[in-house]
């Protein structure tokens, strides 16, 4: 058999995964990265449960990770990160359930950084979702790169990773599409209330984490520092369930419609008047950048707002969430 024929035979029969590549790094043609300031985001995580782990799972004498402040966990990307440690996790909750829409439905942000034109320092994590907080389903993650261990200061190629949070650098979210989980049991992809992020233990050994095909996922390891493991930044929501009519605890119905509303479009009020309300930003600051006429409001900014409704000469108050999308 000639050398040329043997090469052609190899090319014809070689496994496809040897030639496959996933989406490249942010800023490269074909990337799926979403910048944090994109107007596709309609909301951000508002609650969490944190489970930090070891700086080095092979040497627990170093203790657990300590980098990051918990106040930075919720809200928009860029407010700071919190390290999870080897195999650590964080479970996020949201003002409204995430739902399946057209394309990606949410994105996860980390703080990776480029080391040269083609590689970046990336710490990765699995992503799971749940409707009820009990049954979680994991996005099928894939890794197709080398099994030579990436050390603590080695760059990685984003094209080797799929469905793993952290494949993109700081300020760029990794998108996830609930449509991929449509055949999963125990969750409703139109009603996701929990997103769980679990650090990938990047050791290419029995200590490490495996992808959907049983391959060890290779990311920098060990990183025996207080900032070890996935550095969680934020989860941005792209599609969420529509708000419903809002009810005060005494049973009186106050309606804000539509909710979510579009920027510049009229928002109708029912059950209360303009003289009964105050509007606040999500951080508690008073918000007054809106127009009003009759029983309608028109917002000049998008975002998450809190409507404070006073009744009975301000003896009782109700607080409602309103989302205005770009």
| pLDDT (tens digit per residue) in 6-33 | 433 333 333 433 445 999 999 999 999 9
Rounded CA separation 42/134 (Å): 26
Residue 250 clears pLDDT 70, i.e. is over it: no
Average pLDDT value for residue range 109-130 = 96
Greater confidence, 171 or 268? 171
81-90, 94-103, 227-236: which range is least confident on average? 94-103
Residues 184/137, Cβ–Cβ less than 8 Å: yes
Which pLDDT does position 246 carry in this prediction? Answer: 35
Rounded CA separation 154/33 (Å): 21
Rounded CA separation 222/208 (Å): 11
Helix, strand, or coil (residue 67)? coil
Averaged pLDDT score across all residues of the chain? 86
Residues 41/238, Cβ–Cβ less than 8 Å: yes
pLDDT digits (tens, 9 = 90+) for 33-57: 999 999 899 899 988 999 999 999 9
In the chain, residues under CATH classification 2.60.40.1930 are: 246-325
Residues 105/166, Cβ–Cβ less than 8 Å: no
Q: Name, in order, each residue with C-beta under 8 angstroms of 307's C-beta and a sequence gap of 6 or more.
A: 256, 277, 278, 279, 280, 319, 320, 321, 322
Strands (E), 117-181: 120-121, 125-130, 136-138, 142-143, 161-162, 172-176
User: Chain centroid to CA 198: how far?
Assistant: 12
Residue that has been written with the tokens 């055949």 in this structure: 183
User: Chain centroid to CA 196: how far?
Assistant: 9
Which pLDDT does position 3 carry in this prediction? Answer: 38
Greater confidence, 97 or 246? 97
pLDDT digits (tens, 9 = 90+) for 255-283: 777 877 888 888 887 776 667 788 887 66
126-130, 186-190, 310-314: which range is least confident on average? 310-314
Average pLDDT value for residue range 175-203 = 96
Residues 82/232, Cβ–Cβ less than 8 Å: yes
Fold of 246-325: Immunoglobulin-like (2.60.40)
The pTM for the full model equals: 0.72
């Amino acid at each position: 058999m000639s050398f040329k024929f043997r090469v052609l035979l190899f090319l014809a029969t070689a496994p496809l995964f040897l030639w496959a590549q996933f989406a490249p790094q942010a800023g490269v043609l074909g990337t799926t990265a979403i910048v944090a300031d994109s107007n596709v985001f309609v909301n951000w995580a508002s609650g969490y449960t944190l489970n930090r782990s070891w700086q080095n799972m092979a040497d627990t004498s170093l203790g657990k990770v300590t980098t990051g402040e918990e106040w930075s966990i919720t809200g928009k990307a860029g407010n700071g990160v919190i390290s999870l440690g080897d195999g650590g996790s964080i479970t996020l909750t949201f003002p409204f359930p995430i739902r399946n829409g057209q394309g990606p439905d949410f994105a996860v942000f980390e703080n990776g950084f480029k080391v040269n034109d083609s590689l970046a320092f990336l710490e990765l994590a699995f992503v799971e979702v749940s409707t009820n907080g009990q049954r979680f389903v994991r996005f099928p993650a894939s890794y197709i790169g080398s099994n030579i261990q990436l050390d603590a200061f080695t760059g990685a190629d984003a094209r080797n990773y799929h469905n793993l949070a952290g494949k993109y650098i700081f300020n760029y979210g990794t998108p996830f599409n609930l449509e991929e989980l449509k055949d999963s049991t125990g969750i409703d992809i139109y009603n996701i209330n929990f997103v769980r992020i679990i650090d990938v233990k990047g050791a290419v050994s029995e200590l490490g984490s495996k992808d959907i095909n049983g391959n060890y996922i290779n990311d920098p390891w060990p990183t025996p520092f207080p900032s070890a493991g996935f550095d969680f930044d934020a989860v941005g929501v792209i599609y969420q369930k529509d708000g419903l009519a809002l009810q005060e605890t005494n049973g009186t119905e106050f309606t804000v419609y539509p909710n979510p509303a579009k920027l510049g479009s009229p928002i109708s009020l029912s059950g209360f008047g303009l003289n009964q309300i105050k509007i606040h930003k999500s951080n508690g600051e008073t918000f007054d950048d809106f127009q009003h006429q009759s029983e309608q409001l028109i917002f000049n900014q998008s975002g998450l707002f809190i409507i404070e409704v006073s009744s009975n000469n301000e003896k009782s108050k109700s607080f409602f969430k309103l989302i205005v999308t770009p």
